[in-house]
Amino acid sequence: MTPTTLTSTVAQNARNSEALLRSAEQRLTALSDQEARLEQDILTRLSNIATLKLEHRPALDQDTLLQLQARRDAEAQLRAELARIETDIASSLANQQSLRTRIASVDRQVNDQLARQPAWCELGEQLLAAQQANGEEITGYNEIRQECLDKLPTYRANPIYDYLLKRDYGTAQYRYNRLHRWLDNTLAKRVNFQGNRSTEQMLRTMQARNEELQGERLALIAALQADSDQRLAQARTAAGMDPLTSEDAALNDHIVAAKVRANEQHQQLADFASKQDPYYLRIRQNITERLQAQTLEQLMLEVQKTPDSNDDRIVAQLKDLHPRLHDVQAQLPGLRDQHEHALGDYERAKELERALRTDYYRDSDYSYHTQLSFERLLADYMARDLSLHSLETLLQSGRRLVPRSSSSSDSSSSSWSSSGSSSSSSSTGFSTSGSSGGGSFSTSDSF
């Protein structure tokens, strides 16, 4: 699976999850609108029943109706604008995928051309050889480094040995009288000063040389890598890659900006679904004010207790409207649960999309091979049977370098990488304590 397929698959999964979320939001908003309209309709009819003594508030009722219509219009406008933005994003993503296919094609052509150049192939062989040589040396380097880190502190940790060092014992700078010399000689024998000093100096020399050789190997790799990157960049420029990458960057910026606008629209629509939009809040305030600290249920009970033949028509209408309101309200909890589930799926899909939207996963020099199909892994991830960390681990373990093309006369240079990490020089170095390295601090007798 190519990086393009990988990223486009997770992007499509995110869009599918988003579509399900927006559909759930739209159903929830429509149902809340239906609930508010039924409540207002029932309240208006109840106010016409004289026995309930509800105050007539025509201005308030009119404002509620206006807010209901304004809410519906505002939501429709948000969805229309969102549809326009999402169409733009989809078109831009398609253009970007097409553009990146062209970039990958040019990149392959560049690699094919370079593979036919002896100087490029030689550079590749040098880089590969440097990487391999460093790989052979790295174990020894780490062993020596750790040996020195473990052993050197033990010398200065001995107070007698450290005391003699500070007095320049055993050097030309040592200047003390006969008594002091006798005392220091006694202490020196006790801590085997000469033997330990010799071993410590050898370890420090070994440590310095070990780091020097590793530095040379890394410097060689860095120089070869820089040369490789420069030649590759020049070849890509000559092949017309620069305008394509600039166009890709501009297109990506446009997509990012469009997604920001889409997210703003989504947030406003989410407020509609959760009844937190300003229109619904005002509608609810109006209805609460009209109820005068009562509930519709209480008012409906009062209507049934005090039947009046003059109100028969209104009561009949209320008997039709009230069950419809109950039915709508009964659907709301289930729709809220669906919305919460859709929101969780969407956030999970976006988390994966963000995790894989990096240069690491988009590097066209690599492809991905997993035991199970990525579609199956994606389904397990969305079903919460697979964590993001586990999915990334599977992808990384199946990440394979795509072999570069090579000339027919020299197939040995077909798979060297342009992303080296370490280098090689002479394999000469110090051995560890298992062979000729120094030991830890020792004494001539036991303390």
The DSSP annotation for 84-138 comes to HHHHHHHHHHHHHHHHHHHHHHHHHHHHHHHHT-HHHHHHHHHHHHHHHHHHHHH
pTM greater than 0.75 (yes/no)? no
Handedness of CA 49, 55, 56, 62 (dihedral sign): negative
- pLDDT at position 281, please? 94
Q: Give every CB contact of residue 284 below 8 A, 6+ residues apart in sequence.
A: 36, 275
Residue 424 counted as domain residue: no
Q: Roughly what angle, to the nearest 10 degrees, separates helices 193-238 and 178-190? A: 70
SS3 366: strand
* Burial class for 430, CB neighbours closer than 10 Å (0-12, 13-18, 19+): buried
Residue 345 to residue 271: CA distance in whole angstroms? 19
User: What is the model's pLDDT at position 277?
Assistant: 92
Token pair belonging to 245? 């990458």
Q: Would you say 130 and 424 are in contact if contact means Cβ atoms under 8 Å apart?
A: yes
Q: How far is the C-alpha of 240 from the C-alpha of 244, rounded, in Å?
A: 7
CA distance 203 to 143: 13
pLDDT of residue 440: 60
pLDDT of residue 50: 58
Give a yes or no: residue 370 inside a domain. Answer: no
Residue 211's pLDDT is 96
d(Cα 162, Cα 344) in Å, to the nearest integer?
64
CA gap 103, 364 in Å, rounded: 10
What is d(CA 353, CA 357) in angstroms, rounded to the nearest whole number?
A: 6
CA–CA gap between residue 224 and residue 246 (Å, rounded): 27
C-alpha distances in angstroms, 85 versus 25, 96, 376?
18, 16, 31
Task: Note the pLDDT of residue 442.
Answer: 58
395 within domain boundaries: no
The span from the CA of 347 to the CA of 18, in Å, is: 9
Tell me how many degrees the CA angle 293-30-47 measures, rounded to the nearest 5: 30
Alpha helices in 239-277 (DSSP H): 241-273
Token pair recorded at residue 94 = 């398609």
Q: What is the pLDDT of residue 429?
A: 35
Cβ-proximal residues to 50 (8 Å cutoff; 6+ apart), any chain = 308, 310, 311
Q: What is the pLDDT of residue 43?
A: 81
Q: Establish if 390 belongs to a structural domain.
A: no
Neighbours of 248 (CB within 10 A): 16
CB of 220 closer than 8 Å to CB of 130: yes
Q: How far apart, in whole angstroms, are the C-alpha atoms of residue 225 and residue 219?
A: 10
Which tokens go with 187? 């202490």
Domain span at 316: 3-365+402-413
State the CB neighbour count (10 A cutoff) for residue 221: 22
- Determine, yes or no, domain membership for 387: no
* DSSP reduced 3-state for 389: helix
Which residues, at least 6 apart from 441, have a Cβ–Cβ distance to it below 8 Å? 151, 154, 155, 157, 158, 161, 196, 200
| Number of domains making up the chain | 1
pLDDT of residue 292: 72
CA count, 13 A, side-chain hemisphere, 96? 21
β-pair partners for 399: 368
Within-domain flag for 423: no
Mean pLDDT in order along the chain per 10 residues (447 residues): 88 91 90 90 78 74 92 94 93 91 91 93 94 93 95 92 91 89 92 92 95 96 95 95 95 94 91 92 88 75 66 77 89 92 94 91 86 91 94 92 52 36 37 44 43
Contact 32, 280 (CB under 8 A): yes
Cβ contacts of 186 within 8 Å, gap of 6 or more: none
Task: Report yes or no on 110 lying in a domain.
Answer: yes
Give the DSSP H or E segment for 17: helix 3-46
- Residue 446 inside a domain? The answer is no
